[in-house]
Amino acid sequence: LLAPCKVLEKRGFEITYLKTGSDGIVSPLDVQKHLRKDTILISIIYANNKIGTIQPIKEIGKIKGKVCFHTDATQATNFLNLKVETLGIDLLTANAHKIYGPKGIGVLYKKSGVQIMPQIFGGGHEEGLRSGTPSTPLIVGMAKSLEIAQNIKNEESLRLCQLRDYFIDKVLKEIPIAKLNGHPMKRLPNNANFSFLHADAESIIIKLDVLGVSASSGSACEAQYQKDKKENRYSVRFSLGRQTNKKEIDEVLKVIKQCTNA
């Protein structure tokens, strides 16, 4: 979300960057406070890809007034409400590979009446917004993966929430140097992000990889979350998926303890 803002600033637009709480949540009241008469766009990620925090999109949608409201729902598509009318959303973006679909395809929902500039000029495809020959296989793959994700959303979210909470509880109880990043409850069902104090994240990730566990560095500073920069060095993200089970969680826990000398 930040790169387009930097481009707009170079073109003369004024951008307001909102701070978050220690849990990574943007306050709707803070959004309302910073709205100006000449504000034309609000853009807030639905759920953070690093620490999993879910933003109060519906609440922000209620106070935005006539300002165009965009959300990046890439991480939210598998689990959260996408009913744009009830959320108060004017623009919504998502992609396929985060919902087990093909790479290289995404979707933009645009509310009727919202005017946006074309991204690619040429033959006038996609109602003049993005010229170029559409990839039918990718489009079908996107639609099918979205259909499947929505059909199993409730059941899968509940299953993953139970596994996630079990995992988080075990890590915090059995690894003294572990600290959970993000909101303890208002987070994606598949996300568990920890800081392991006094243990470098990259070193832990390398050790985990050698022992067969895939994880990533969840540096919160990259997503503009106001957290201690020193602590960001120790942030590790674990993602759960449709194939994840309790046995695997227990095995991962053993490996983490080994990698952190817990």
pLDDT score, position 220: 40
Residue 152 token pair: 């199993």
Which segments within the chain are labelled E, that is strand?
41-43, 68-72, 91-95, 106-110, 178-180, 191-196, 216-217, 235-239
Backbone angles phi, psi at 173, to 5 degrees: -80, -35
Chain-wide mean pLDDT for the chain? Answer: 90
Checking if the pLDDT of 69 tops 90, the result is yes
How far is 65 from 214, CA to CA, in rounded Å? 43
Q: Which one is predicted more confidently, 228 or 116? A: 116
68 catalytic per annotation: no
Query: Global pTM?
Result: 0.88
Instruction: Please report which confidence band the pLDDT of residue 137 belongs to, taking 50, 70 and 90 as the band edges.
Output: very high
223 pLDDT above the threshold of 60: no
Give the pLDDT score at 14: 95
Catalytic residue among 5, 68, 161, 221: 221
pLDDT for res 173: 96
